[in-house]
Amino acid sequence: MPASTRHHRALAVFVHCLGILAAVPALPAAAPEAAAVPRPPVATPRPPTATPQPTAAGPTAMPSTAAQSPVAVVARVTAEPTPPSAPPAMAPPSRAPASAPPQQVTVAVAPESSPAPRYRIQVRNVGNAPIDTTVRQELPPGSSPTAISGGGQSGRAGGSTTEVTWRLRLPAHSTTTLGTALAATAPGQPLTAPTCAFTSDGSRPYDCATATWMAAAAPAAEITEAPPWRRYPVLLGGLVILLLISAALVWVWRRRRGRRLTAAALATSGGPDSGRGTIYPRPAAPNPVRRRRTPPVWLLVGAAVVVLAGIVGTAGWTATRQVSEIDTQKQPTSGAWMGTGVTGPVGVPLRESAFEFTVYRMSCGAPGTAGKAGGSAPPANGRRCEATVGVRNITGDHQPWHSQLQRAYLPGGRWVSTDEPATRAANLGRDVFADPMAAGTRMVLPLVFTVDGRDPPQQLELRSGVFSAGVRVHMP
Per-residue pLDDT reduced to its tens digit, 315-352 = 777 777 665 555 544 444 444 567 778 999 999 999 99
40 pLDDT band (50/70/90 cuts)? very low
Amino acid at the residue 199: T
Per the model's pLDDT, the better-predicted residue between 100 and 471 turns out to be 471
The crossing angle, in degrees rounded to 10, of helices 70-79 and 3-23 is: 20
- The pLDDT of residue 196: 94
Q: How far is CA 427 from the centre of its chain?
A: 19
- The pLDDT of residue 282: 57
- The pLDDT of residue 439: 92
- Residue 440: which region, alpha, beta or left (left: phi > 0; alpha: psi -120 to 50)? left
Per-residue pLDDT reduced to its tens digit, 264-318 = 766 665 555 555 555 555 555 556 656 666 667 777 777 777 778 778 777 777 7
Q: Tell me the C-alpha to C-alpha distance, in Å, between residue 13 and each of 18, 23, 46.
A: 9, 15, 31
Per-residue pLDDT averaged across 47-74, rounded? Answer: 42
Per-residue pLDDT averaged across 89-99, rounded? Answer: 49
Question: Mean pLDDT for the chain?
Answer: 74
pLDDT tops 70 at residue 77: no
The CA distance from 465 to 419, in Å, is 18
Per the model's pLDDT, the better-predicted residue between 471 and 97 turns out to be 471
Per the model's pLDDT, the better-predicted residue between 208 and 55 turns out to be 208
Per-residue pLDDT averaged across 435-449, rounded? Answer: 93
Three-class SS of the chain: CCHHHHHHHHHHHHHHHHHHHHHCCCCCCCCHHHHHCCCCCCCCCCCCCCCCCCCCCCCCCCCCCCCCCHHHHHHHHHHCCCCCCCCCCCCCCCCCCECCCCCCEEEEEEECCCCCCEEEEEEEECCCCCEEEEEEEECCCCCEEEEECCCCEEEEEECCEEEEEEEEEECCCEEEEEEEEEECCCCCCCEECCEEEEECCCCCEEEEECCEECCCCCCCCCCCCCCHHHCHHHHHHHHHHHHHHHHHHHHHHHHHHHHHHHHHHHHCCCCCCCCCCCCCCCCCCCCCCCCCCCCCHHHHHHHHHHHHHHHHHHHHHHHHHHHHCCCCCCCCCCCCCECCCEEEECCCCEECCCEEEEEEEEEECCCCCCCCCCCCCCCCCEEEEEEEEEEEECCCCCECCCHHHCEEECCCCCEEECCHHHHHHHCCCCCCCCCCECCCCEEEEEEEEEEECCCCCCEEEECCCCCECCEEEECC
Per-residue pLDDT reduced to its tens digit, 121-154 = 999 999 899 999 999 999 888 888 999 998 889 8
Strand partners, 73: none
